[in-house]
């Protein structure tokens, strides 16, 4: 198993603590006047999505996490289970709604996503940064309401709701940023 010394610590590093994978989301090097250098780290658990703070002394090591990312295609949803297929090996993976979290809002059948595996088991999926979704329901815009930044909720084909400008109508295709969950633009079809 590969180990990382404190001098290798950096943002984006995937490490294993107590048998679970963590992503280093922040790392600060502190050199006090006396004594060892300290490495203050903020780590996000890749399974539970919790964040912990840890401080390591210079020279300590952490195990690397057996985490890999693969390209998968979203197949379908059955109650609270989501099914994906590896685009290279055609192996199928199943994730629960807890593992998917809020990403269900962006998943369309046939969409290619990035899946994270820990020791060969799926732990999460990341949709593309921007997705195009068809509007299935929204209230009609009020005629003559031309004030800037007038918004309304719209429901899209995945069943999710997003806040969009008042000019969006049923049947429009909107582009949504999956990292923020915000409307980006109306897509011409």
CATH number at 41 reads 2.30.30.30
Minimal CA–CA distance to 123: which of 44, 181, 61, 62? 44
The token pair that represents 80 in the structure block: 């609270």
**87-141 pLDDT, tens per residue?**
999 999 999 988 888 899 999 999 999 999 998 899 889 999 999 999 999 888 7
**Domain stop point among 29, 64, 99:** 64
pTM: 0.77
Same domain, 103 and 59: no
Which CATH number characterizes residue 143's domain? 2.40.50.140
CA Rg value for the chain: 21
Parallel/antiparallel/unpaired status of strands 81-86 and 182-187: unpaired
Residue 37 · residue 30 · CB < 8 Å: yes
Q: How many domains is the chain built from?
A: 3
**15-24 pLDDT, tens per residue?**
999 989 999 9
Domain interval for residue 81: 67-126
Same domain, 43 and 72: no
Same domain, 101 and 119: yes
Residue 147 is predicted with a pLDDT of: 62
| pLDDT tops 70 at residue 162 | yes
**Domain stop point among 19, 36, 64:** 64
Q: What are the phi and psi torsion angles at 57 (to 5°)? A: -85, 155
**Domain stop point among 80, 107, 126:** 126
Q: How far is CA 119 from the centre of its chain?
A: 19
């Amino acid at each position: 198993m590969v180990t990382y010394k404190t001098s290798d610590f950096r943002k984006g590093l995937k490490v294993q603590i107590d048998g679970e994978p963590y992503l280093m989301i922040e790392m600060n090097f502190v050199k006090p006047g006396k004594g060892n250098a300290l490495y203050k780290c903020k780590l996000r658990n890749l399974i539970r999505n919790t964040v912990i703070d840890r401080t390591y002394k210079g020279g300590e090591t952490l195990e690397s996490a057996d985490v890999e990312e693969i390209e998968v295609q979203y197949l379908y949803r059955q109650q609270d289970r989501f099914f994906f297929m590896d685009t290279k090996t055609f192996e199928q993976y199943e994730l629960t709604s807890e593992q998917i979290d809020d990403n269900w809002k962006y998943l369309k059948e046939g969409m290619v996503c990035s899946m994270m595996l820990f020791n060969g088991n799926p732990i999460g999926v990341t949709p593309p940064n921007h997705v195009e979704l068809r509007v299935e329901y929204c209230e009609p815009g009020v005629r003559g309401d031309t004030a800037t930044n007038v918004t309304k909720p719209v429901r899209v084909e995945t069943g999710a709701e997003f806040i969009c400008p008042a000019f969006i109508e049923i049947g429009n295709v909107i582009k949504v940023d999956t990292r923020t969950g915000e409307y980006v633009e109306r897509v011409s079809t």
